[in-house]
Structure 1
Amino acid sequence: MTSCPPGQGVQMRKVWSLRTDPCSIRGWPSGSSSTPRPPICMCSSSVPQTSGAACSSFSLAFSPSGDVFLEFQEELEQVYKVYCASYEQALLLVENYQKDPELQRGIQRTIEAVLPQAGPSGLSFLLVNPLQRVTKYPLLLQKILENTLPDASAYPVLQRAASALQDVVTHINEYKRRKEVASRYTKVEQLSLRERLARINTHTLSKKTTRLSQLLKQEAGLVPKLEDKEFDDLEEKFHCVSLCVTELKSNVAAHLDALEVLLRFRPHESHLDIPGGPVAQYGDLARDLQLQAFPQFKQRLEGLVWQPLCSLAKALAGPQNLIRKRLDKLLDFERAEEKLSEVGSVTYEEEAARHTYQALNSLLVAELPQFNQLAVQWLRQILCTLVTLQGDLAKHVLQRAESSLAQLPHHHLSEPAFRDLVADTLDQAGHQLRSFQENFEKVLPPPTTWPLLPGAERQVQALLSRYGPGKLYQVTSNISGSGTLDLTLPRGHVVALLQNKDTKGNSSRWLVDTGGHRGYVPAGKLELYHVAPSEEDLRGQAKPHENSPSFCCPSWSRVISDSEGWAPCPVGGQWRGSQETLAGPGVGVSKSQLWNVCGQMQRPLQGFEG
């Protein structure tokens, strides 16, 4: 507030001290009860002489005061309405603070240091003072106005100031009432289904039915729908911001999950048995990124982006509930207005619904613009932070990678030249792999064929014609079924696979068909059954019956040995004879032959590193 001119401060203090004594305003001193007062006749004779001087002094003192109140009317309203609306919440915080003795002593020491004149008064006493002060301003001005002559120069100013402050108090009360109405609907309650059902009663059903009826009549065009262009624009902008926040939150959550998956891999801990060179340099780079760069980026992303984004999403929940509740109250309001225009009166409940809608609508129209602006600024700041974090990560990775790339043998090449080198090397490696495959197939011996018993040949042929060769399996060891649906089969029996798991999803028990019975067998005792490629060759080797097909047994394979020649060997590979040999299902190759073929691949690849 502005300061008073010299000399007027004393006069104002005198007048403020006289506000409770009308005689003092008229020029009589307000002494104690022991001070004798002049008779009425003397007063009547002296009033004309003294009232003129008192009123001139009064006008000089209070004319600036009225102007000051008028000047700060809007600012007083803005500050006090927020304070008064938050007073009850502040009292709840004070009660929580009182539960902590150490915190309470700290608050008391602060009060004594800042306001020594407060004495032992607590924080709750100081919080109530502004509430009492703002309600005293219009009363004091009205009292002064009552004791001011109407023809005084300060009277119009004081009259406008008293009316303005009375309007301020009215607006504060209205704002506080709106906030109380809104606070009932901004709370997000997590109710179970049982609790929700417990709240349903006849009154609730009646309200829901009335609202639904009103909505159906509006959709059918029977009654007009109330349009509010200003609120519709604010609501559209709010929903746009809310949608952006939801999408960004979903994307950031997916990004954090992807980072979590990435951090589970440890490429620097893999041993490739290649000492030194580019492999070791890559291991150092991967170690630095996995242990420092990526964890630090994830931590900053959670603290600077994810948590503020969750707070913003939580802040949007309150206005969303208010907007949704406003739609319900709008239907009640339209129904009440329709009844008021038809009947001329409404019930107390309908009148309360009208006031509730007006309070919600006024509050949303007044505060949604500021909320939308703050939400957009908050969202923009989060996006800027996200972009900055991504840029910092890219700079760190690029800086660390450049130092490692400088040590590679081909770092001097340009990017197009390096791409051409990689393409040529990969083409050469592909040609070598194809050559290796051809050479390997040349030295690969044909699988050993075994004749089938006459009784089993017809069964195998039936399974083959029904299920195909890819579904046939052979039992590698005797199976003794223990369950109701388990089969008992001898070793060498051929079955057809129906399902590679049981009804409970257990993949260790397979459902098979023996040609006559169906049941479950252990998956570990089955091997894929291979059909011989040439029936005539298989007859010449195994001499089967004339009319029976020939099959090869997958559980045995041939092994090449320089000293012993061909010999049967169990699946899995064993070393036989004087030289090492490799064996597997249907494969028998000496180790020396494999090394001869592999050696042809190694020579062209020795020149390419990194």
Structure 2
Amino acid sequence: RCAEQLQGRTQSWDLGSLLIKPVQRVLKYPLLLKELSSITPPDDLDHENLITATIEIQKVADHINEIKRRKDIVERIVGDKKKTEMNVVKAHRIRQVTGLAAEATQDTIFDTLYQKFEDQQELARQLARDIQTWVRQVKDNFDNLLEFATSLEEVYSSFGGVRVRSMNQIKEFTKLASNFRMVISRELDTMIYAYTYAKIEGFLAVFENPTQVINKRGQKLLDYDRVRGIKARGDIPDKTLQESADMYVSINAQLVEELPLLFNLTRQYFDIIVGDLAMVQTRFYEMTCREWNKLMQHLRQDPNDNRDNSSFDAIIANYQREMNNHVQPLIDDIMPLNKEQWKMILANRGTMMDLGGTTDDDHSKVTTPSQNDDFSNSRSQGYSESSNNNNNNNNLAEPAFECVVIHDYLEPSMEALSVRKGDVIQVWVEDEDEQGLQGAWLYASISVGHSEHFGWVPSQFCRRL
């Protein structure tokens, strides 16, 4: 509005000229006061005050000129990218070795600021790497969930395998896993880039111009050290070299003055980035919980169940209730195709003698060839269940042969024997696998401390001694 009002009223002044006038006026005050003091008699009461005012206003003018000079130097540096910091370091080493430069100038204040300058950038880069790791882990979890759901659906829908009443629930679970992998993962990528990656890129961009000024300071520091070395020898440096050394003083002073201001702003900037990241994670987990709740509402038999589930005991009780209502019927509905083989597996585990169930006490027993009647009858072909070494007719009194384990076999099932590479085991019985391959499985034992452990081991994991 001011520029519009000026049009037609004057051809001498524009808005820029008017705005710069106060700055120019300050620089004219020293001349005015000097003239006043020169024409004021020394015995006048104002003469001493005029001298003091002249000195002080000259300091103000010098300060303004120095700041202006620094700004002009920095503006020229920002656009100058010809020399690299590596070339500066090499040149400095050459000059020091040849004696053309004095010992490097040490500025502890600047060194401290520069270390903080580098630390802030590395902090932002590390945050970006941590975010990438978190996103990758989330996607890996979604991939594993989808793979599990797909495998689960294949198992329960395969012909001749296991029959289950409700395939719809398994299909809903697979649909949820696929939605997590595609929709929510894509939404997470969008939010992460918009609210964190873009801001981190902007954060690092703030440091680009100061980095150029710092590099230029390093270049001018070489000339500053050269000037010191020349003066130390009693010589006078040339004008160009002296001006370059003076530029170092100006640049260094500007950096020491403005870097703390930069750190204060970048610290606020970084707090904003962290706050946005927390917001993204909150939204993401809210979406995840919302999708899970949709599935739970679909699977829950009583959708109007509003009981308090906040306490630890309530969570356990709800878990047990859900297991009894949903999982146990599915387990009870499993029908093995080969019941005789199923019985034999249960017998080998030593946990059940029939399909009637298990008890906690059964799980604490250690199965040996002499303790399991079903195993002795179906696998040992008439071997006596007694382990008395004095009975020569007892074929299980001694193992058939020994093997050394060549690969780790760490199977958590009850009927398996977990062994590690290098273990020596005693083999009691060789058994066939489901394809009828003889000797594919070995019923073996291994001594651990004062106890003996028995179980099945694949023959390909062992070498006979």
- Bin of the TM-score, shorter chain as denominator length: 0.5 to 0.7
Contact 1:278–1:408 under 8 Å retained in 2:
no
Tell me the alpha carbon deviations over residues 207-239 of structure 1, each in whole angstroms, 9 at most, x when there is no partner.
Answer: 887522245589xxx964432221221122111
Q: Which amino acid aligns with 1:132?
A: Q
- The one of 173, 176, 190 aligned to 2:65: 173
Contact 1:339–1:345 under 8 Å retained in 2:
yes
1:386 deviates by: 1.2
1:314 deviates by: 1.0
- The one of 117, 139, 142 aligned to 1:238: 117
SS of corresponding position for 2:299 = coil
SS of corresponding position for 1:343 = coil
TM-score (normalizing by structure 1): 0.41
**Corresponding position: 1:211 with 2:92:** yes
CA distance in 1, matches of 2:7, 2:141: 60
Tell me the alpha carbon deviations over residues 170-215 of structure 1, each in whole angstroms, 9 at most, x when there is no partner.
Answer: 11221222222233333475x8xxxx9xx9xxxx99x887522245
Q: What does residue 383 of structure 2 align with? A: none
- The one of 288, 308, 315 aligned to 1:397: 288
Larger Rg over CA atoms: 1
1:290 deviates by: 5.8
Contact 1:263–1:295 under 8 Å retained in 2:
no
Contact 2:172–2:295 under 8 Å retained in 1:
no
1:337 deviates by: 1.0
**Corresponding position: 1:321 with 2:321:** no
Q: What does residue 74 of structure 2 align with? A: 182
- The one of 329, 349, 352 aligned to 2:240: 349
CA distance in 2, matches of 1:240, 1:363: 20
Tell me the alpha carbon deviations over residues 308-328 of structure 1, each in whole angstroms, 9 at most, x when there is no partner.
Answer: 221220111222233333233
CA distance in 2, matches of 1:296, 1:180: 47
CA distance in 1, matches of 2:239, 2:216: 20
1:359 deviates by: 1.7
Contact 2:142–2:177 under 8 Å retained in 1:
no
Question: Where do 1:221-236 residues align within 5 Å?
Answer: 224-236=103-115
- The one of 348, 358, 365 aligned to 2:256: 365
Q: Which amino acid aligns with 2:66?
A: E
SS of corresponding position for 1:306 = helix
- The one of 261, 278, 281 aligned to 1:387: 278
Q: Which amino acid aligns with 2:114?
A: E
* Paired residues, number: 314
Q: What is the aligned-residue RMSD (CA, Å)?
A: 5.0
**Corresponding position: 1:163 with 2:55:** yes
Question: Where do 1:29-108 residues align within 5 Å?
Answer: none
CA distance in 2, matches of 1:336, 1:359: 15
Q: Which moved more, 1:145-154 or 1:165-174?
A: 145-154
1:122 deviates by: 4.5
1:300 deviates by: 4.2
Q: Which amino acid aligns with 1:162?
A: T
Q: Which amino acid aligns with 1:328?
A: Q
Q: Which amino acid aligns with 1:401?
A: W
Q: Which amino acid aligns with 2:111?
A: D
CA 1:409–1:154: 2 relative to 1, 3 Å: same
**Corresponding position: 1:408 with 2:299:** yes
CA 1:287–1:381: 2 relative to 1, 3 Å: same
Contact 1:312–1:378 under 8 Å retained in 2:
yes
SS of corresponding position for 1:227 = coil
1:396 deviates by: 4.2
CA 1:263–1:161: 2 relative to 1, 3 Å: farther
Q: What does residue 301 of structure 1 align with? A: 192
CA distance in 2, matches of 1:296, 1:214: 57
**Corresponding position: 1:332 with 2:223:** yes
Tell me the alpha carbon deviations over residues 235-270 of structure 1, each in whole angstroms, 9 at most, x when there is no partner.
Answer: 2211111211222234446667888999999x8xx9
CA distance in 1, matches of 2:196, 2:339: 53
Tell me the alpha carbon deviations over residues 511-569 of structure 1, each in whole angstroms, 9 at most, x when there is no partner.
Answer: xxxxxxxxxxxxxxxxxxxxx989xxxxxxxxxxxxxxxxxxxxxxxxxxxxxxxxxxx
CA 1:390–1:153: 2 relative to 1, 3 Å: farther
Q: Which amino acid aligns with 1:211?
A: H
TM-score (normalizing by structure 2): 0.52
**Corresponding position: 1:248 with 2:127:** yes
CA distance in 2, matches of 1:426, 1:328: 79
SS of corresponding position for 1:357 = helix
CA distance in 1, matches of 2:59, 2:274: 43
Q: Which moved more, 1:330-339 or 1:400-409?
A: 400-409
1:427 deviates by: 11
CA distance in 2, matches of 1:426, 1:215: 84
Contact 2:92–2:222 under 8 Å retained in 1:
yes
1:410 deviates by: 6.6
Contact 1:249–1:310 under 8 Å retained in 2:
no
CA 1:337–1:317: 2 relative to 1, 3 Å: same
CA 1:305–1:434: 2 relative to 1, 3 Å: farther
1:136 deviates by: 2.8
| % identical equivalent positions | 20
Question: Where do 1:408-487 residues align within 5 Å?
Answer: 408-409=299-300, 415-416=315-316, 418=319, 421=323
Q: What does residue 67 of structure 1 align with? A: none
Unaligned residue ranges in structure 2 (runs of 5+): 158-165, 343-435, 439-465
Contact 2:139–2:181 under 8 Å retained in 1:
no
Q: What does residue 395 of structure 2 align with? A: none
CA distance in 1, matches of 2:250, 2:89: 21
1:133 deviates by: 2.9
CA distance in 1, matches of 2:288, 2:35: 75
CA 1:306–1:394: 2 relative to 1, 3 Å: same
CA 1:355–1:223: 2 relative to 1, 3 Å: closer
Q: Which amino acid aligns with 1:112?
A: E
Contact 2:196–2:277 under 8 Å retained in 1:
yes
Contact 1:149–1:155 under 8 Å retained in 2:
yes
Q: What does residue 103 of structure 1 align with? A: none
CA distance in 2, matches of 1:289, 1:242: 33
CA 1:339–1:434: 2 relative to 1, 3 Å: farther
Q: Which amino acid aligns with 1:159?
A: I
